[in-house]
Amino acid sequence: MKANDLTEQQKSTDDVIEIGEILRRLPHRYPFLLIDRAIDYIPNKSIRGIKNVTINEPFFPGHFPGAPVMPGVLQIEALAQTGAVLMSKTLEADITKHLILFMSVENARFKKPVMPGDTMEMVVEVLFQRRNIFKFRGRVEVRGELATDCEFAAMKADRPS
């Protein structure tokens, strides 16, 4: 399934997470919120995040003038935010009391550039979970082709007062 190909049944099921719920589950805001919607959510298992990449992104004027390419570290951040949505929803985290914190990234590979006009599909799968710590495998796909992949970890922690 492609990011824009939601059937009527999928639009009405609980596995679609729209931007309003993402904003309730993540503390990130513009210009650092890097997920527009999520689909295929399965608690404790997987999620598919969607990011529509536009020329209006704040990093493109400097990366690179005349040849805009989305930085790889921001692709990994988008994967981490997708994983954080999965964690927040699975653990029913309250962002007024808790944060989902990025812990590590391993084996990151960048296979193809992500450019303005692309739709990133961020497939995140849980490798293991122990209490409030999750380890994930994440892939960024553009038009069905692998752009980026990595493993990463995150934890739910108390929000500092």
Contact 150, 76 (CB under 8 A): yes
What is the spatial distance between Cα 112 and Cα 18, in angstroms, rounded to a whole number? Answer: 27
Q: Quick one: CA dihedral 108, 54, 124, 145, positive or negative?
A: negative
Of the residues 16, 27, 36, 63, only one is catalytic, namely: 63
β-pairing, 119-130 with 46-52?
antiparallel
Q: Is the peptide bond before 43 cis (omega within 30 degrees of 0)?
A: no
Q: Tell me, yes or no, if 98 is annotated catalytic.
A: no
Residues recognised as catalytic: 63
